[in-house]
Structure 1
Protein backbone atom coordinates (compact mmCIF):
# COMPACT_ATOMS: atom_id res chain seq x y z
CA UNK A 1 0.00 0.00 0.00
CA UNK A 2 2.92 2.36 0.71
CA UNK A 3 4.20 2.67 -2.94
CA UNK A 4 0.59 3.17 -4.01
CA UNK A 5 0.15 5.96 -1.47
CA UNK A 6 3.32 7.68 -2.73
CA UNK A 7 2.11 7.50 -6.36
CA UNK A 8 -1.25 8.91 -5.36
CA UNK A 9 0.34 11.76 -3.38
CA UNK A 10 2.58 12.68 -6.33
CA UNK A 11 -0.34 12.62 -8.79
CA UNK A 12 -2.58 14.66 -6.48
CA UNK A 13 0.20 17.24 -5.93
CA UNK A 14 0.67 17.51 -9.72
CA UNK A 15 -3.07 18.10 -10.20
CA UNK A 16 -3.08 20.80 -7.49
CA UNK A 17 -0.09 22.49 -9.13
CA UNK A 18 -1.91 22.44 -12.50
CA UNK A 19 -4.98 23.91 -10.73
CA UNK A 20 -2.83 26.87 -9.68
CA UNK A 21 -0.99 27.34 -12.99
CA UNK A 22 -4.22 27.21 -14.98
CA UNK A 23 -6.02 29.51 -12.49
CA UNK A 24 -8.91 27.06 -12.23
CA UNK A 25 -10.33 28.66 -9.06
CA UNK A 26 -10.44 32.09 -10.74
CA UNK A 27 -12.07 30.56 -13.81
CA UNK A 28 -14.66 28.85 -11.59
CA UNK A 29 -15.59 32.29 -10.29
CA UNK A 30 -15.81 33.70 -13.83
CA UNK A 31 -17.96 30.75 -14.91
CA UNK A 32 -20.33 31.19 -11.98
CA UNK A 33 -20.73 34.90 -12.83
CA UNK A 34 -21.46 34.14 -16.50
CA UNK A 35 -23.97 31.41 -15.61
CA UNK A 36 -25.78 33.81 -13.27
CA UNK A 37 -26.02 36.33 -16.12
CA UNK A 38 -27.43 33.67 -18.44
CA UNK A 39 -30.01 32.63 -15.84
CA UNK A 40 -31.13 36.25 -15.62
CA UNK A 41 -33.75 36.56 -18.36
CA UNK A 42 -32.91 40.19 -19.14
CA UNK A 43 -29.68 39.28 -20.96
CA UNK A 44 -31.67 37.56 -23.71
CA UNK A 45 -33.14 40.89 -24.79
CA UNK A 46 -29.75 41.44 -26.45
CA UNK A 47 -29.19 38.21 -28.46
CA UNK A 48 -25.65 39.15 -29.51
CA UNK A 49 -24.49 39.73 -25.91
CA UNK A 50 -26.31 36.59 -24.75
CA UNK A 51 -24.68 34.50 -27.47
CA UNK A 52 -21.22 35.86 -26.66
CA UNK A 53 -21.75 35.23 -22.92
CA UNK A 54 -23.00 31.70 -23.61
CA UNK A 55 -19.93 30.96 -25.74
CA UNK A 56 -17.58 32.29 -23.03
CA UNK A 57 -19.34 30.15 -20.42
CA UNK A 58 -19.07 27.05 -22.61
CA UNK A 59 -15.33 27.55 -23.14
CA UNK A 60 -14.72 28.08 -19.41
CA UNK A 61 -16.82 25.05 -18.49
CA UNK A 62 -14.76 22.84 -20.81
CA UNK A 63 -11.59 24.09 -19.12
CA UNK A 64 -12.78 23.97 -15.50
CA UNK A 65 -14.89 20.81 -15.18
CA UNK A 66 -12.24 18.20 -16.16
CA UNK A 67 -9.72 19.56 -13.62
CA UNK A 68 -12.35 19.80 -10.88
CA UNK A 69 -13.30 16.17 -11.57
CA UNK A 70 -9.64 15.08 -11.51
CA UNK A 71 -9.05 16.69 -8.12
CA UNK A 72 -12.28 15.21 -6.77
CA UNK A 73 -11.20 11.71 -7.89
CA UNK A 74 -7.77 12.20 -6.30
CA UNK A 75 -9.36 13.31 -2.99
CA UNK A 76 -11.68 10.28 -2.96
CA UNK A 77 -8.75 7.94 -3.58
CA UNK A 78 -6.76 9.64 -0.83
CA UNK A 79 -9.61 9.00 1.63
CA UNK A 80 -9.73 5.33 0.63
CA UNK A 81 -5.97 5.07 1.01
CA UNK A 82 -6.18 6.44 4.56
CA UNK A 83 -8.41 3.52 5.51
CA UNK A 84 -5.43 1.20 4.95
CA UNK A 85 -7.66 -1.67 3.79
CA UNK A 86 -5.34 -4.02 1.85
CA UNK A 87 -8.32 -5.71 0.14
CA UNK A 88 -9.05 -2.43 -1.69
CA UNK A 89 -5.54 -2.20 -3.16
CA UNK A 90 -6.24 -3.91 -6.56
CA UNK A 91 -9.26 -1.67 -7.19
CA UNK A 92 -7.35 1.42 -6.05
CA UNK A 93 -4.45 0.61 -8.39
CA UNK A 94 -6.84 0.49 -11.30
CA UNK A 95 -8.50 3.77 -10.30
CA UNK A 96 -5.10 5.44 -9.82
CA UNK A 97 -3.96 4.30 -13.26
CA UNK A 98 -7.11 5.80 -14.77
CA UNK A 99 -6.49 9.03 -12.84
CA UNK A 100 -2.87 9.21 -14.03
CA UNK A 101 -3.91 8.58 -17.63
CA UNK A 102 -6.53 11.34 -17.48
CA UNK A 103 -4.03 13.76 -15.92
CA UNK A 104 -1.39 12.99 -18.58
CA UNK A 105 -3.97 13.56 -21.32
CA UNK A 106 -4.85 16.97 -19.89
CA UNK A 107 -1.42 18.20 -18.79
CA UNK A 108 -0.88 19.56 -22.32
CA UNK A 109 -3.09 22.47 -21.25
CA UNK A 110 -0.15 23.70 -19.14
CA UNK A 111 1.52 24.69 -22.41
CA UNK A 112 -1.15 27.32 -23.06
CA UNK A 113 -0.02 30.54 -21.44
CA UNK A 114 -0.63 33.09 -24.20
CA UNK A 115 -3.13 35.90 -23.72
CA UNK A 116 -5.32 34.71 -26.60
CA UNK A 117 -4.79 30.92 -26.37
CA UNK A 118 -8.33 30.35 -25.12
CA UNK A 119 -9.93 32.35 -27.93
CA UNK A 120 -11.79 31.13 -30.99
CA UNK A 121 -9.47 30.93 -34.01
CA UNK A 122 -10.13 32.62 -37.35
CA UNK A 123 -8.55 30.47 -40.07
CA UNK A 124 -7.99 32.09 -43.48
CA UNK A 125 -6.61 30.01 -46.36
CA UNK A 126 -5.31 31.61 -49.58
CA UNK A 127 -3.99 29.86 -52.70
CA UNK A 128 -0.61 31.04 -53.92
CA UNK A 129 0.64 31.50 -57.46
CA UNK A 130 0.39 28.35 -59.55
CA UNK A 131 -3.15 28.31 -60.86
CA UNK A 132 -5.17 25.12 -60.49
CA UNK A 133 -2.46 23.21 -58.61
CA UNK A 134 -2.23 25.91 -55.93
CA UNK A 135 -6.02 26.15 -55.63
CA UNK A 136 -6.29 22.36 -55.29
CA UNK A 137 -3.57 22.46 -52.60
CA UNK A 138 -5.51 25.18 -50.76
CA UNK A 139 -8.59 22.94 -50.73
CA UNK A 140 -6.49 20.00 -49.46
CA UNK A 141 -5.39 22.18 -46.52
CA UNK A 142 -9.00 23.23 -45.93
CA UNK A 143 -9.99 19.56 -45.69
CA UNK A 144 -7.04 18.85 -43.36
CA UNK A 145 -8.03 21.55 -40.87
CA UNK A 146 -11.71 20.64 -40.96
CA UNK A 147 -10.83 16.98 -40.32
CA UNK A 148 -8.58 17.99 -37.42
CA UNK A 149 -11.27 20.24 -35.94
CA UNK A 150 -13.90 17.50 -36.15
CA UNK A 151 -11.60 14.99 -34.42
CA UNK A 152 -10.78 17.59 -31.74
CA UNK A 153 -14.51 18.15 -31.14
CA UNK A 154 -14.28 21.77 -32.26
CA UNK A 155 -17.15 23.84 -33.63
CA UNK A 156 -16.65 25.02 -37.23
CA UNK A 157 -18.35 27.98 -38.91
CA UNK A 158 -17.80 29.04 -42.51
CA UNK A 159 -17.42 32.79 -43.00
CA UNK A 160 -16.56 32.91 -46.68
CA UNK A 161 -15.32 30.61 -49.46
CA UNK A 162 -14.25 31.34 -53.03
CA UNK A 163 -14.14 28.35 -55.40
CA UNK A 164 -11.32 27.88 -57.91
CA UNK A 165 -11.83 28.30 -61.66
CA UNK A 166 -11.29 24.59 -62.47
CA UNK A 167 -10.72 22.86 -59.12
CA UNK A 168 -9.96 23.65 -55.50
CA UNK A 169 -10.48 27.01 -53.84
CA UNK A 170 -8.96 30.48 -54.18
CA UNK A 171 -9.60 31.26 -50.51
CA UNK A 172 -11.71 30.31 -47.51
CA UNK A 173 -12.25 31.75 -44.04
CA UNK A 174 -13.59 29.82 -41.04
CA UNK A 175 -13.95 30.26 -37.32
CA UNK A 176 -12.95 27.23 -35.25
CA UNK A 177 -14.02 27.33 -31.61
CA UNK A 178 -13.43 24.98 -28.71
CA UNK A 179 -10.97 24.42 -25.89
CA UNK A 180 -7.79 26.44 -26.63
CA UNK A 181 -8.66 26.67 -30.34
CA UNK A 182 -6.31 29.58 -31.10
CA UNK A 183 -3.61 28.23 -28.79
CA UNK A 184 -3.53 24.97 -30.73
CA UNK A 185 -3.88 26.36 -34.24
CA UNK A 186 -1.38 29.23 -33.93
CA UNK A 187 1.32 26.72 -34.96
CA UNK A 188 -0.22 26.65 -38.46
CA UNK A 189 0.30 30.34 -39.24
CA UNK A 190 2.48 30.78 -42.33
CA UNK A 191 3.17 29.37 -45.81
CA UNK A 192 2.63 25.67 -46.51
CA UNK A 193 4.51 24.11 -49.47
CA UNK A 194 3.45 21.01 -51.39
CA UNK A 195 5.64 18.93 -53.73
CA UNK A 196 3.88 16.25 -55.82
CA UNK A 197 3.22 14.93 -59.30
CA UNK A 198 0.60 17.29 -60.66
CA UNK A 199 -2.79 15.68 -61.45
CA UNK A 200 -3.57 18.72 -63.62
CA UNK A 201 -0.53 18.45 -65.88
CA UNK A 202 -0.79 16.33 -69.04
CA UNK A 203 2.82 15.17 -68.60
CA UNK A 204 2.27 14.43 -64.88
CA UNK A 205 5.30 16.54 -63.99
CA UNK A 206 6.53 17.30 -60.50
CA UNK A 207 4.89 20.50 -59.24
CA UNK A 208 5.51 22.75 -56.25
CA UNK A 209 2.50 24.64 -54.88
CA UNK A 210 2.08 27.15 -52.06
CA UNK A 211 -0.79 28.25 -49.83
CA UNK A 212 -0.91 30.84 -47.07
CA UNK A 213 -2.58 29.93 -43.78
CA UNK A 214 -3.42 32.83 -41.47
CA UNK A 215 -4.48 32.07 -37.89
CA UNK A 216 -5.95 34.93 -35.89
CA UNK A 217 -7.73 35.15 -32.52
CA UNK A 218 -11.37 36.18 -32.82
CA UNK A 219 -11.77 39.46 -30.91
CA UNK A 220 -15.50 39.80 -30.19
CA UNK A 221 -15.47 43.03 -28.22
CA UNK A 222 -14.24 46.23 -29.96
CA UNK A 223 -12.87 47.73 -26.72
CA UNK A 224 -10.42 44.83 -26.41
CA UNK A 225 -8.52 46.07 -29.47
CA UNK A 226 -8.86 49.82 -29.78
CA UNK A 227 -8.85 50.62 -33.51
CA UNK A 228 -9.19 54.33 -34.26
CA UNK A 229 -11.96 55.08 -36.77
CA UNK A 230 -9.75 57.62 -38.55
CA UNK A 231 -7.34 54.76 -39.37
CA UNK A 232 -10.04 52.92 -41.32
CA UNK A 233 -11.15 53.31 -44.92
CA UNK A 234 -14.47 51.54 -45.46
CA UNK A 235 -15.76 50.81 -48.96
CA UNK A 236 -19.14 49.33 -49.76
CA UNK A 237 -19.69 47.67 -53.11
CA UNK A 238 -21.99 45.29 -54.91
CA UNK A 239 -21.47 41.63 -54.05
CA UNK A 240 -20.90 39.32 -56.99
CA UNK A 241 -20.91 35.62 -57.70
CA UNK A 242 -23.29 33.04 -56.32
CA UNK A 243 -25.65 33.70 -53.50
CA UNK A 244 -29.05 34.73 -54.74
CA UNK A 245 -30.91 37.76 -56.01
CA UNK A 246 -30.44 39.89 -52.89
CA UNK A 247 -26.67 39.50 -53.08
CA UNK A 248 -26.54 40.64 -56.66
CA UNK A 249 -28.86 43.64 -56.28
CA UNK A 250 -27.65 45.23 -53.01
CA UNK A 251 -24.40 46.91 -52.04
CA UNK A 252 -23.79 44.40 -49.24
CA UNK A 253 -20.07 43.67 -49.70
CA UNK A 254 -17.66 45.54 -47.42
CA UNK A 255 -13.94 46.24 -47.76
CA UNK A 256 -12.05 47.72 -44.79
CA UNK A 257 -8.51 49.04 -45.13
CA UNK A 258 -6.41 49.73 -42.06
CA UNK A 259 -4.39 52.70 -43.31
CA UNK A 260 -1.37 52.54 -40.94
CA UNK A 261 -0.56 48.89 -41.79
CA UNK A 262 -2.17 48.51 -45.20
CA UNK A 263 -4.17 45.45 -44.06
CA UNK A 264 -7.28 44.91 -46.20
CA UNK A 265 -10.26 42.75 -45.19
CA UNK A 266 -13.11 42.23 -47.64
CA UNK A 267 -16.28 40.29 -46.82
CA UNK A 268 -18.87 39.38 -49.42
CA UNK A 269 -21.60 36.87 -48.71
CA UNK A 270 -25.35 36.55 -48.32
CA UNK A 271 -25.62 38.52 -45.10
CA UNK A 272 -26.48 42.19 -44.75
CA UNK A 273 -24.02 45.04 -45.17
CA UNK A 274 -24.05 45.59 -41.38
CA UNK A 275 -23.24 41.93 -40.68
CA UNK A 276 -20.49 41.95 -43.30
CA UNK A 277 -19.01 45.06 -41.73
CA UNK A 278 -19.05 43.51 -38.24
CA UNK A 279 -17.41 40.33 -39.56
CA UNK A 280 -14.76 42.32 -41.43
CA UNK A 281 -13.97 44.37 -38.30
CA UNK A 282 -13.72 41.20 -36.23
CA UNK A 283 -11.22 39.72 -38.70
CA UNK A 284 -9.31 43.01 -38.87
CA UNK A 285 -8.96 43.10 -35.07
CA UNK A 286 -7.68 39.51 -35.17
CA UNK A 287 -5.13 40.32 -37.90
CA UNK A 288 -3.89 43.36 -35.99
CA UNK A 289 -3.45 41.29 -32.83
CA UNK A 290 -1.63 38.57 -34.79
CA UNK A 291 0.64 41.21 -36.33
CA UNK A 292 1.29 42.68 -32.87
CA UNK A 293 2.30 39.24 -31.58
CA UNK A 294 4.60 38.65 -34.56
CA UNK A 295 6.33 42.00 -34.20
CA UNK A 296 6.39 41.89 -30.38
CA UNK A 297 4.90 45.39 -30.48
CA UNK A 298 3.75 47.07 -27.27
CA UNK A 299 0.66 48.55 -28.93
CA UNK A 300 -1.09 48.84 -32.29
CA UNK A 301 0.55 52.25 -32.75
CA UNK A 302 3.95 50.51 -32.83
CA UNK A 303 3.04 48.19 -35.70
CA UNK A 304 5.16 48.37 -38.83
CA UNK A 305 3.41 48.19 -42.19
CA UNK A 306 3.96 45.24 -44.49
CA UNK A 307 5.60 42.95 -41.94
CA UNK A 308 3.36 39.96 -41.37
CA UNK A 309 3.25 36.27 -42.16
CA UNK A 310 3.61 36.61 -45.89
CA UNK A 311 4.71 34.47 -48.79
CA UNK A 312 8.27 34.55 -47.51
CA UNK A 313 7.52 32.74 -44.26
CA UNK A 314 7.50 29.06 -45.16
CA UNK A 315 6.72 26.92 -42.12
CA UNK A 316 6.06 23.42 -43.43
CA UNK A 317 6.87 21.19 -46.39
CA UNK A 318 4.58 18.41 -47.60
CA UNK A 319 6.38 16.05 -49.99
CA UNK A 320 4.29 13.42 -51.81
CA UNK A 321 6.89 12.56 -54.49
CA UNK A 322 9.42 10.92 -54.87
CA UNK A 323 8.92 9.98 -51.16
CA UNK A 324 6.35 10.99 -48.56
CA UNK A 325 7.30 13.32 -45.72
CA UNK A 326 5.78 16.27 -43.88
CA UNK A 327 8.37 18.35 -42.03
CA UNK A 328 8.06 21.56 -40.02
CA UNK A 329 10.86 24.02 -40.80
CA UNK A 330 10.78 25.59 -37.32
CA UNK A 331 10.59 22.62 -34.91
CA UNK A 332 12.04 20.00 -37.34
CA UNK A 333 9.19 17.70 -36.29
CA UNK A 334 8.26 15.32 -39.12
CA UNK A 335 5.74 12.67 -40.08
CA UNK A 336 6.38 10.10 -42.82
CA UNK A 337 2.70 9.23 -43.25
CA UNK A 338 1.76 12.31 -45.29
CA UNK A 339 -1.76 11.05 -45.97
CA UNK A 340 -2.50 10.74 -42.25
CA UNK A 341 -1.40 14.38 -41.80
CA UNK A 342 -3.61 15.48 -44.69
CA UNK A 343 -6.43 13.58 -42.98
CA UNK A 344 -6.04 15.80 -39.91
CA UNK A 345 -3.23 14.21 -37.88
CA UNK A 346 -1.73 17.53 -36.69
CA UNK A 347 -1.29 17.05 -32.95
CA UNK A 348 2.38 16.10 -33.26
CA UNK A 349 3.15 19.37 -35.07
CA UNK A 350 1.05 21.37 -32.59
CA UNK A 351 2.72 19.77 -29.53
CA UNK A 352 6.23 20.29 -30.94
CA UNK A 353 5.49 23.97 -31.58
CA UNK A 354 4.06 24.49 -28.07
CA UNK A 355 7.01 22.71 -26.44
CA UNK A 356 9.46 24.84 -28.43
CA UNK A 357 7.72 28.05 -27.40
CA UNK A 358 7.57 27.03 -23.75
CA UNK A 359 11.31 26.24 -23.78
CA UNK A 360 12.01 29.64 -25.38
CA UNK A 361 9.88 31.63 -22.90
Structure 2
Protein backbone atom coordinates (compact mmCIF):
# COMPACT_ATOMS: atom_id res chain seq x y z
CA UNK A 1 0.00 0.00 0.00
CA UNK A 2 1.40 3.35 -1.05
CA UNK A 3 1.43 6.52 1.02
CA UNK A 4 -1.23 8.24 -1.12
CA UNK A 5 -3.23 5.21 -2.36
CA UNK A 6 -6.36 6.12 -0.36
CA UNK A 7 -6.52 9.62 -1.87
CA UNK A 8 -8.60 11.20 -4.58
CA UNK A 9 -6.87 11.25 -7.96
CA UNK A 10 -6.13 13.86 -10.60
CA UNK A 11 -6.36 12.16 -14.01
CA UNK A 12 -5.00 13.76 -17.18
CA UNK A 13 -5.59 12.63 -20.78
CA UNK A 14 -3.54 13.98 -23.70
CA UNK A 15 -3.81 13.17 -27.38
CA UNK A 16 -0.72 11.46 -28.78
CA UNK A 17 0.26 10.58 -32.34
CA UNK A 18 -2.60 10.08 -34.80
CA UNK A 19 -4.11 13.51 -35.58
CA UNK A 20 -7.90 13.86 -35.38
CA UNK A 21 -8.20 10.12 -34.63
CA UNK A 22 -6.11 10.52 -31.48
CA UNK A 23 -8.28 13.47 -30.37
CA UNK A 24 -11.37 11.31 -30.85
CA UNK A 25 -9.60 8.50 -28.96
CA UNK A 26 -8.80 10.85 -26.05
CA UNK A 27 -12.52 11.68 -25.78
CA UNK A 28 -13.46 7.96 -25.90
CA UNK A 29 -11.04 7.34 -23.00
CA UNK A 30 -12.54 10.24 -21.04
CA UNK A 31 -15.99 8.67 -21.45
CA UNK A 32 -14.58 5.28 -20.36
CA UNK A 33 -13.30 6.79 -17.11
CA UNK A 34 -16.58 8.66 -16.56
CA UNK A 35 -18.45 5.34 -16.88
CA UNK A 36 -15.93 3.59 -14.60
CA UNK A 37 -16.55 6.27 -11.94
CA UNK A 38 -20.33 5.80 -12.24
CA UNK A 39 -19.98 2.00 -11.88
CA UNK A 40 -17.75 2.38 -8.79
CA UNK A 41 -19.70 5.26 -7.19
CA UNK A 42 -16.79 7.68 -7.60
CA UNK A 43 -17.37 11.34 -8.42
CA UNK A 44 -15.69 12.74 -11.54
CA UNK A 45 -15.30 16.50 -11.92
CA UNK A 46 -13.84 18.08 -15.07
CA UNK A 47 -11.16 20.62 -14.12
CA UNK A 48 -9.95 21.46 -17.64
CA UNK A 49 -10.83 20.41 -21.17
CA UNK A 50 -9.35 21.50 -24.51
CA UNK A 51 -11.58 20.69 -27.47
CA UNK A 52 -10.21 19.06 -30.63
CA UNK A 53 -10.01 20.85 -33.98
CA UNK A 54 -12.54 18.66 -35.83
CA UNK A 55 -13.63 16.11 -33.22
CA UNK A 56 -12.75 14.83 -29.77
CA UNK A 57 -10.44 16.58 -27.31
CA UNK A 58 -6.78 17.58 -27.27
CA UNK A 59 -6.53 17.18 -23.50
CA UNK A 60 -8.56 16.95 -20.30
CA UNK A 61 -7.83 17.02 -16.58
CA UNK A 62 -10.38 15.56 -14.17
CA UNK A 63 -10.62 15.05 -10.42
CA UNK A 64 -11.78 11.61 -9.29
CA UNK A 65 -13.16 11.61 -5.75
CA UNK A 66 -13.49 8.38 -3.80
CA UNK A 67 -11.56 6.14 -1.42
CA UNK A 68 -8.51 4.55 -3.08
CA UNK A 69 -9.15 6.41 -6.36
CA UNK A 70 -5.42 7.18 -6.75
CA UNK A 71 -4.33 3.67 -5.74
CA UNK A 72 -6.66 2.02 -8.25
CA UNK A 73 -6.15 4.43 -11.13
CA UNK A 74 -2.36 4.03 -11.08
CA UNK A 75 -3.10 0.97 -13.24
CA UNK A 76 -4.17 3.36 -16.03
CA UNK A 77 -0.99 5.45 -16.17
CA UNK A 78 0.73 5.25 -19.55
CA UNK A 79 -0.03 5.23 -23.27
CA UNK A 80 -3.26 3.67 -24.56
CA UNK A 81 -3.27 2.51 -28.20
CA UNK A 82 -6.34 2.20 -30.44
CA UNK A 83 -6.44 0.30 -33.76
CA UNK A 84 -9.60 0.73 -35.88
CA UNK A 85 -11.03 1.69 -39.25
CA UNK A 86 -10.96 5.47 -38.97
CA UNK A 87 -14.37 7.18 -39.18
CA UNK A 88 -12.45 10.26 -40.43
CA UNK A 89 -10.77 8.49 -43.37
CA UNK A 90 -12.86 8.50 -46.57
CA UNK A 91 -10.74 5.58 -47.81
CA UNK A 92 -11.88 3.43 -44.83
CA UNK A 93 -8.29 2.61 -43.89
CA UNK A 94 -7.08 1.23 -40.60
CA UNK A 95 -5.51 3.80 -38.28
CA UNK A 96 -3.52 3.54 -35.06
CA UNK A 97 -4.02 6.30 -32.48
CA UNK A 98 -2.42 7.00 -29.11
CA UNK A 99 -3.42 8.89 -25.98
CA UNK A 100 -1.42 9.40 -22.80
CA UNK A 101 -3.07 8.98 -19.39
CA UNK A 102 -1.42 10.58 -16.35
CA UNK A 103 -2.45 9.86 -12.76
CA UNK A 104 -1.54 12.04 -9.78
CA UNK A 105 -2.60 12.08 -6.11
CA UNK A 106 -4.71 14.98 -4.86
CA UNK A 107 -2.77 16.68 -2.08
CA UNK A 108 -3.96 18.20 1.18
CA UNK A 109 -3.01 21.88 1.50
CA UNK A 110 -0.39 21.19 4.19
CA UNK A 111 1.34 18.61 1.94
CA UNK A 112 1.83 20.96 -0.96
CA UNK A 113 5.38 21.64 -2.00
CA UNK A 114 6.88 25.08 -1.48
CA UNK A 115 7.51 26.49 -4.95
CA UNK A 116 9.56 29.64 -5.44
CA UNK A 117 7.51 32.05 -7.63
CA UNK A 118 10.75 32.65 -9.59
CA UNK A 119 10.52 29.01 -10.77
CA UNK A 120 7.18 29.72 -12.45
CA UNK A 121 6.12 31.43 -15.66
CA UNK A 122 2.44 32.36 -15.67
CA UNK A 123 0.67 33.24 -18.93
CA UNK A 124 -2.96 34.31 -19.33
CA UNK A 125 -4.95 33.94 -22.54
CA UNK A 126 -8.50 33.81 -23.85
CA UNK A 127 -10.24 30.47 -23.35
CA UNK A 128 -11.05 28.77 -26.66
CA UNK A 129 -14.11 26.68 -27.45
CA UNK A 130 -14.53 23.98 -30.09
CA UNK A 131 -13.11 24.91 -33.48
CA UNK A 132 -11.13 27.80 -32.03
CA UNK A 133 -14.21 29.79 -30.97
CA UNK A 134 -13.51 32.19 -28.14
CA UNK A 135 -15.74 31.33 -25.18
CA UNK A 136 -14.49 34.28 -23.13
CA UNK A 137 -13.96 37.90 -24.14
CA UNK A 138 -11.51 38.39 -21.27
CA UNK A 139 -8.22 36.56 -20.75
CA UNK A 140 -9.34 34.14 -18.02
CA UNK A 141 -7.44 30.99 -19.07
CA UNK A 142 -4.14 30.41 -17.26
CA UNK A 143 -1.00 28.50 -18.23
CA UNK A 144 1.66 27.85 -15.58
CA UNK A 145 5.11 26.54 -16.57
CA UNK A 146 7.45 25.12 -13.93
CA UNK A 147 10.78 26.21 -15.40
CA UNK A 148 13.00 23.61 -13.72
CA UNK A 149 11.01 20.52 -14.76
CA UNK A 150 9.38 21.95 -17.91
CA UNK A 151 5.92 20.86 -16.69
CA UNK A 152 3.12 22.98 -18.13
CA UNK A 153 -0.45 23.13 -16.80
CA UNK A 154 -3.27 24.99 -18.58
CA UNK A 155 -6.73 25.56 -17.09
CA UNK A 156 -9.62 27.40 -18.74
CA UNK A 157 -12.64 25.90 -17.02
CA UNK A 158 -13.53 28.50 -14.41
CA UNK A 159 -15.07 31.91 -15.06
CA UNK A 160 -12.31 33.88 -13.36
CA UNK A 161 -8.57 34.11 -13.90
CA UNK A 162 -7.97 33.75 -10.15
CA UNK A 163 -9.90 30.46 -9.89
CA UNK A 164 -8.13 29.08 -12.96
CA UNK A 165 -4.76 30.04 -11.47
CA UNK A 166 -5.61 28.30 -8.16
CA UNK A 167 -6.71 25.17 -10.04
CA UNK A 168 -3.59 25.17 -12.24
CA UNK A 169 -1.37 25.47 -9.14
CA UNK A 170 -3.21 22.56 -7.51
CA UNK A 171 -2.62 20.36 -10.59
CA UNK A 172 1.04 21.45 -10.82
CA UNK A 173 1.51 20.51 -7.14
CA UNK A 174 0.09 17.03 -7.83
CA UNK A 175 2.32 16.56 -10.89
CA UNK A 176 5.43 17.55 -8.92
CA UNK A 177 4.42 15.22 -6.07
CA UNK A 178 3.98 12.36 -8.57
CA UNK A 179 7.54 12.96 -9.84
CA UNK A 180 8.76 12.99 -6.22
CA UNK A 181 7.00 9.65 -5.58
CA UNK A 182 8.58 8.16 -8.72
CA UNK A 183 12.01 9.35 -7.59
CA UNK A 184 11.45 7.81 -4.18
CA UNK A 185 10.26 4.54 -5.73
CA UNK A 186 12.94 4.24 -8.38
CA UNK A 187 15.83 5.87 -6.49
CA UNK A 188 17.03 7.22 -9.80
CA UNK A 189 17.56 10.89 -10.47
CA UNK A 190 16.77 10.41 -14.15
CA UNK A 191 13.07 9.98 -13.33
CA UNK A 192 12.84 13.68 -12.54
CA UNK A 193 10.94 15.44 -15.29
CA UNK A 194 10.94 12.33 -17.46
CA UNK A 195 8.01 12.33 -19.84
CA UNK A 196 6.43 9.17 -21.25
CA UNK A 197 6.24 9.63 -25.01
CA UNK A 198 2.72 9.06 -26.33
CA UNK A 199 3.62 7.16 -29.51
CA UNK A 200 4.85 3.74 -30.63
CA UNK A 201 6.65 1.45 -28.22
CA UNK A 202 5.49 2.82 -24.88
CA UNK A 203 1.90 1.62 -24.70
CA UNK A 204 0.53 -0.14 -21.61
CA UNK A 205 -2.67 -1.34 -23.28
CA UNK A 206 -3.94 -1.90 -26.83
CA UNK A 207 -7.57 -1.68 -27.90
CA UNK A 208 -8.01 -3.40 -31.28
CA UNK A 209 -11.32 -2.98 -33.15
CA UNK A 210 -10.09 -4.23 -36.54
CA UNK A 211 -9.35 -6.82 -37.98
CA UNK A 212 -10.43 -8.54 -34.71
CA UNK A 213 -11.73 -7.28 -31.35
CA UNK A 214 -9.40 -7.46 -28.37
CA UNK A 215 -8.16 -5.34 -25.46
CA UNK A 216 -4.74 -6.47 -24.22
CA UNK A 217 -2.77 -5.15 -21.26
CA UNK A 218 0.93 -5.44 -22.14
CA UNK A 219 2.08 -5.48 -18.50
CA UNK A 220 -0.12 -8.32 -17.25
CA UNK A 221 -0.96 -10.03 -20.61
CA UNK A 222 -4.65 -9.95 -19.64
CA UNK A 223 -6.85 -10.04 -22.76
CA UNK A 224 -10.58 -9.26 -23.00
CA UNK A 225 -12.43 -9.64 -26.32
CA UNK A 226 -15.50 -7.57 -25.34
CA UNK A 227 -14.03 -4.18 -26.28
CA UNK A 228 -17.45 -2.44 -26.11
CA UNK A 229 -17.83 -3.45 -22.46
CA UNK A 230 -14.29 -2.23 -21.65
CA UNK A 231 -14.91 1.14 -23.34
CA UNK A 232 -18.15 1.36 -21.35
CA UNK A 233 -16.09 1.53 -18.16
CA UNK A 234 -15.65 -2.14 -17.24
CA UNK A 235 -11.90 -1.96 -16.59
CA UNK A 236 -11.78 -3.44 -13.06
CA UNK A 237 -10.27 -6.71 -14.36
CA UNK A 238 -7.30 -4.78 -15.79
CA UNK A 239 -6.88 -2.73 -12.61
CA UNK A 240 -7.01 -5.82 -10.36
CA UNK A 241 -4.53 -7.76 -12.53
CA UNK A 242 -2.10 -4.82 -12.47
CA UNK A 243 -2.36 -4.35 -8.69
CA UNK A 244 -1.92 -8.11 -8.06
CA UNK A 245 1.19 -8.14 -10.24
CA UNK A 246 2.60 -5.19 -8.27
CA UNK A 247 1.92 -7.00 -4.97
CA UNK A 248 3.74 -10.09 -6.29
CA UNK A 249 6.72 -7.93 -7.31
CA UNK A 250 6.99 -6.37 -3.85
Q: TM-score, normalised by structure 2?
A: 0.89
Deviations 1:73-115 (A, max 9, x none): xxxxxxxxxxxxxxxxxxxxxxxxxxxxxxxxxxxxxxxx111
Change (3 A) 1:145 1:354: same
* 2:91 corresponding residue in structure 1: 203
SS of match in other structure, 1:227: coil
| Structure with a larger share of its residues in helix | 1
How far the C-alpha of 1:129 sits from its partner, in A, is 2.6
Q: Which residue of 1 aligns with 2:137?
A: 249
Q: 2:198 aligns with which of 301, 304, 311?
A: 311
Number of positions where the alignment pairs a residue of Structure 1 with one of Structure 2: 244
Unaligned runs of 5+ in 2: none
Q: 1:269 to 1:320 in 2, by over 3 A?
A: same
Q: Is the 8 A contact 1:262 1:305 kept in 2?
A: no
Q: Rg bigger for which structure?
A: 1
Which 10-residue stretch deviates more, 160-169 or 192-201? 160-169
Q: What RMSD, in angstroms, separates the aligned Cα atoms of the two structures?
A: 2.2
Choose the corresponding residue for 1:230, options 112, 118, 121: 118
Alignment gaps of 5+ in structure 1: 1-112
**Greater RCO structure (CA 8 Å; 6+ sep):** 2
Pairing partner for 2:45 from 147, 157, 167 = 157
What are the residue-to-residue correspondences of 1:1-361 with 2, within 5 Å? 113-221=1-109, 223-241=111-129, 248-296=136-184, 306-311=193-198, 313-361=202-250
Secondary structure at the counterpart of residue 248 of structure 1: coil
Whole-angstrom CA distance in 1 between matches of 2:156 and 2:135? 9
**Partner SS state of residue 196, structure 2:** coil
TM-score, normalised via structure 1 length: 0.63
Higher strand share: 2
Question: Is the contact between residue 188 and residue 215 of structure 1 (CA under 8 Å) also seen in structure 2?
Answer: yes
User: Which residue pairs with 1:96 in the alignment?
Assistant: none
Q: Distance in 1 between matches of 2:18 and 2:243?
A: 32
